[in-house]
């Protein structure tokens, strides 16, 4: 009979062989956590390899993602569509076995992990999603949302600051179906961690409000099984299982040392490990009886069928809820969304409110929120400034969602953790999450915002107080380079609207952008309404459009602007007209969307024959060079801001009609 240790050794062997073949990778963690993984995946984790997206599957997250071969070996052995050839091409171009797990590339990988600690944060998002979705849909006798989230993490994850942010929230939110297993091997890249990591980790998590199971021998399968059973038996607290392991377990000369952490073991050490483990098989060879013991295809299908039968009974009892559940899990928007959202934008254009775009954002949430029960949002302790709460907002996380309507999350001052949790909410399914802070604090959240685009995750990041227009708080709070930084993230879309109409359009675009993130940038100060035709309103969704053209003459220059500077461009255009200079004004709320338009459209907005161009934005000037060219000019920021009332700052830094006029005249040849 196949033993547990033999099953775990199959994982160890595949990890050693794949890393050796790639001449790159991290064999130590997979070898150290193989015994724990064997127990979790064979005795507890509910999943179906034939349907990796089954709605009620347990979620597994590898936060210490450098040990990716652990997950790839598990996926391969249990029957996911990850054949041995993929393991043989670990870390190679176009393979499904990247250096760190990637959700977009590998079936069975729930989230893209690599930056340490973010997997734990995503797992908190998964667990929060399970809790809130259950409150939305479960009814007496019908628990159709009922699954656990398991996350592996290591010393590096716990050293990262994000772990403090999200572990604190998980305890506060009483996420009882979250189980974290800590690989306490005492080793990081630089060696034994006791020189730089002496935290009392169990006490720390107990202080957060977690259930902590201490002193588990990570190589004793029965001890691991007992710990996981205890974790899943209680439901009022998340659980941290502290498992003591030996990194590189089985490699006789390198186990327990940093040499096994992040480099191939070498052929001699692998041969010695095979002998010590009693694994007498060639590289990448798995005996049939090992495959048979690991195979989860039949069990997985049975798990899903049990749930399908339960869901059929639920649908019979609650047909409308069942249809809504299926819609939300499929990521489809309500049938009336397109018409009603467009009608709201048309209404705004007709009414012409002149408000700060952060207020316009809140107005949009008031309009769109009732249409979208999947919308769940929150702010990093700035709800009253970001204006992210709307009329229907109800606390979703701390016990007030029993009526099934919870949709608002209080994150506290935790920008990084908030953003990574939002990624988890999006990846779980059933939600469109948004988070919010000041634009200047996107620096704290940036790596998680980057991961939104890389994963990708349908998360909406709201950033208010968008420029030196913030005023007296000064340069520490005035974003200068932040929009350029966010725009440079591949697969990210940044919208900076100029009035209430563009604000609503930006929300509409972000909500409709399936499977990828958007950043919505809103002002503190009031913005004037811009007149538009019906076609111009439609063209907002193309990212950039002609807002104003001379009536009776050909334009001599083009002014391109975003946000609060669109009105400045319009004022300069009118003043130049009185001086006999004809100017086109282009509003460019989203450069990424505009750049994706057909060449014919882009040429129609920014024709190549007109090289006299000036861009105006109260942010880093250099970003706009690609639109104005060497012959153009940018009225922008080249320094940090200053502490003064906003009108004084705009004048001081050259955001005046006179300055824009001078720039236009300089570019006209």
State how far the Cα of 57 lies from the Cα of 47, in Å rounded to an integer: 5
Which among 166, 195, 657 is positioned nearest to 421, based on CA atoms?
166
Contact (CB, 8 A) for 497 and 506: yes
- Helix axis angle for 28-39 and 4-22, nearest 10°, is 150
Binding site membership for thiamine diphosphate: which residues? 66, 114-116, 156, 185, 261, 441
State how far the Cα of 3 lies from the Cα of 669, in Å rounded to an integer: 82
Q: Which of 130, 165, 415, 567 is catalytic?
A: 415
State how far the Cα of 142 lies from the Cα of 319, in Å rounded to an integer: 13
Binding site membership: which residues? 26, 66, 114-116, 155-156, 185, 187, 261, 358, 385, 441, 465, 473, 477, 524
Alpha helical stretches, state H, 318-441: 319-330, 337-351, 357-368, 415-428
State how far the Cα of 541 lies from the Cα of 527, in Å rounded to an integer: 19
Task: Specify the DSSP class assigned to residue 553.
Answer: S
Find the Cα–Cα–Cα–Cα dihedral 24, 29, 32, 36, rounded to 10°. Answer: -130
What phi and psi, each to the nearest 5 degrees, are found at residue 212? -115, 130
State how far the Cα of 28 lies from the Cα of 66, in Å rounded to an integer: 10
Binding site membership for substrate: which residues? 26, 261, 358, 385, 465, 473, 477, 524
- Helix axis angle for 319-330 and 118-137, nearest 10°, is 160
Q: Is 415 a catalytic residue?
A: yes
What phi and psi, each to the nearest 5 degrees, are found at residue 436? -155, 145
Contacts of 301 (CB under 8 A, 6+ apart): 48, 50
State how far the Cα of 251 lies from the Cα of 257, in Å rounded to an integer: 10
Q: Where are the beta strands (DSSP E) in 218-291?
A: 239-244
Binding site membership for Mg(2+): which residues? 155, 185, 187
Q: In what order do the strands lie in the sheet with 545-548?
A: 545-548, 583-587, 557-561, 613-620, 633-637
Tell me which residues are annotated as active site.
415
């Amino acid at each position: 009979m196949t033993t547990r240790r033999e099953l775990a050794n199959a994982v160890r062997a595949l990890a050693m062989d794949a890393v050796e073949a790639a001449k790159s990778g991290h064999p130590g963690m997979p070898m150290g956590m193989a015994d724990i993984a064997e127990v979790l995946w064979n005795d507890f984790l509910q999943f179906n390899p034939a349907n990796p997206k089954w709605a009620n599957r347990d979620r597994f997250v590898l936060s210490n993602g450098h040990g990716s071969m652990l997950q790839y070996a598990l996926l391969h052995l249990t029957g996911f569509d990850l054949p041995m050839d993929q393991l043989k091409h670990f870390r190679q171009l176009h393979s499904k076995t990247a250096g760190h797990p990637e959700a977009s590339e590998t079936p069975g990988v729930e989230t893209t992990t690599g930056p340490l600690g973010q997997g734990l944060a995503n797992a908190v998002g998964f667990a929060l999603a399970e809790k809130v979705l259950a409150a939305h849909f479960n009814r007496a006798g019908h628990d159709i949302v009922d699954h656990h989230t398991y996350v592996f993490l290591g010393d590096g994850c716990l050293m990262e600051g994000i772990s403090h942010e999200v572990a604190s929230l998980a305890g506060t939110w009483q996420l009882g179906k979250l189980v974290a297993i800590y690989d306490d091997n005492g080793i990081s890249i630089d060696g034994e961690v006791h020189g730089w990591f002496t935290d009392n980790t169990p006490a720390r998590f107990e202080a957060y409000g977690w259930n902590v199971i201490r002193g588990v021998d990570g190589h004793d399968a029965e001890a691991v099984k007992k710990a996981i059973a205890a974790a899943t038996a209680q439901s009022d607290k998340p659980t941290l299982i502290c498992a003591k392991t030996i990194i590189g377990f089985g490699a006789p000369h390198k186990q327990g040392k940093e040499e096994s952490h992040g480099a191939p073991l070498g052929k001699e050490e692998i041969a010695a490990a095979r002998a010590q483990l009693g694994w007498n098989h060639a590289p990448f060879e798995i005996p049939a009886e090992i495959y048979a013991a690991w195979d989860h295809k039949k069990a997985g299908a049975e798990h899903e069928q049990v749930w399908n039968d339960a869901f059929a009974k639920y649908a019979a009892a609650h047909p409308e809820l069942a249809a809504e559940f299926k819609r939300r899990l499929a990521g489809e928007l309500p049938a009336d969304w397109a018409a009603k959202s467009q009608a709201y934008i048309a209404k705004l254009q007709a009414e012409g409110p002149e408000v700060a775009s952060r207020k316009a954002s809140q107005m949009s949430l008031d309009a769109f929120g009732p249409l979208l029960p999947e919308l769940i949002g929150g702010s990093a302790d700035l709800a009253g400034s970001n204006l992210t709460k709307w009329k229907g907002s109800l606390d979703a996380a701390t016990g007030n969602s029993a009526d099934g309507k919870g949709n608002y999350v209080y994150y506290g001052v935790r920008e990084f953790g908030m953003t990574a949790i939002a990624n988890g909410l999006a990846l779980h399914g059933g939600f469109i999450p948004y988070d919010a802070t000041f634009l200047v604090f996107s620096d704290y959240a940036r790596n998680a915002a980057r991961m939104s685009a890389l994963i990708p995750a349908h998360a909406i990041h709201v950033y208010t107080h968008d420029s030196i227009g913030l005023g007296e708080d000064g340069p520490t709070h005035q974003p200068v380079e932040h929009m350029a930084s966010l725009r440079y993230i591949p697969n990210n879309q940044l919208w900076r609207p100029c009035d209430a109409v563009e604000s609503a359009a930006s929300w509409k675009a972000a909500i409709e952008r399936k499977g990828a993130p958007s950043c919505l940038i809103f002002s503190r100060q009031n913005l004037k309404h811009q007149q538009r035709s019906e076609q111009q309103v439609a063209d907002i969704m193309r990212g950039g459009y002609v807002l104003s053209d001379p009536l009776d003459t050909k334009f001599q220059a083009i002014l391109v602007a975003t946000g609060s500077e669109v009105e400045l461009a319009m004022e300069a255009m009118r003043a130049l007209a009185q001086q006999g200079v004809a100017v086109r004004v282009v509003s460019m709320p989203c450069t990424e969307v505009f750049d994706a338009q057909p060449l014919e459209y882009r040429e129609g907005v920014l024709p190549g024959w007109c090289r006299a161009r000036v861009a105006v934005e109260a942010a880093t000037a250099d970003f706009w060079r690609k639109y104005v060219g060497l012959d153009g000019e940018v009225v922008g920021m080249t320094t940090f801001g200053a502490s003064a009332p906003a009108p004084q700052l705009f004048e001081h830094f050259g955001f005046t009609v006179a300055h824009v006029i001078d720039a236009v005249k300089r570019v006209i040849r």
